[in-house]
Structure 1
Amino acid sequence: MLTRSDDADAEYWDFDKILDHKWSKQPGRQGKIDVKVKWSGFPEDEATWEPMELIRKDSPTVLAEYAPLKALSMSPGGNGPTSI
């Protein structure tokens, strides 16, 4: 499950799968990866971009099953390999 809040009383939402990934363009998150999450019970067009760190922390198995991410090995600027 993935948290949608940083609260101690955080609500957890189930998701079905990771659809895509991209390098974040948000201030303070450059060089980090965001993943597009398809939420359980919602259509694919309501998928949202979430920080990969949340997926890694809350659902490492789902992250491991996302094959395209395994092949991702270059930084957003093309300056060499990075670890995910």
Structure 2
Amino acid sequence: MITAVKLQSNNAESTARFWSAVLDVQVWQMISRYVDLTGEVDVGAADRLRENGFEAAVDGSQAVDVNGCDNTVFLVQT
């Protein structure tokens, strides 16, 4: 589980929407670029990302917020 990471973002609004979908909470400031992360998420994270206009791997194991950050997030379902 990621509790807090503070880095610079290209697009704060996009990044907040991305991480809000991943973590299933309201995020107002979050992660940025050039960092690949692995996060423990619930089974709905990939679907929430897709519903918010982001691309997630078919199997739900990876996602990238191309508008806000250039990193790959590896999603491990709990």
The structure number with the bigger radius of gyration is 1
Tell me if both proteins adopt one fold, taking TM over 0.5 as the criterion.
no
More strand per residue: 1 or 2?
A: 1
More relative contact order, 1 or 2 (CA 8 Å, 6+ apart): 2
TM-score, normalising length from structure 2? Answer: 0.29
TM-score, normalising length from structure 1? Answer: 0.28
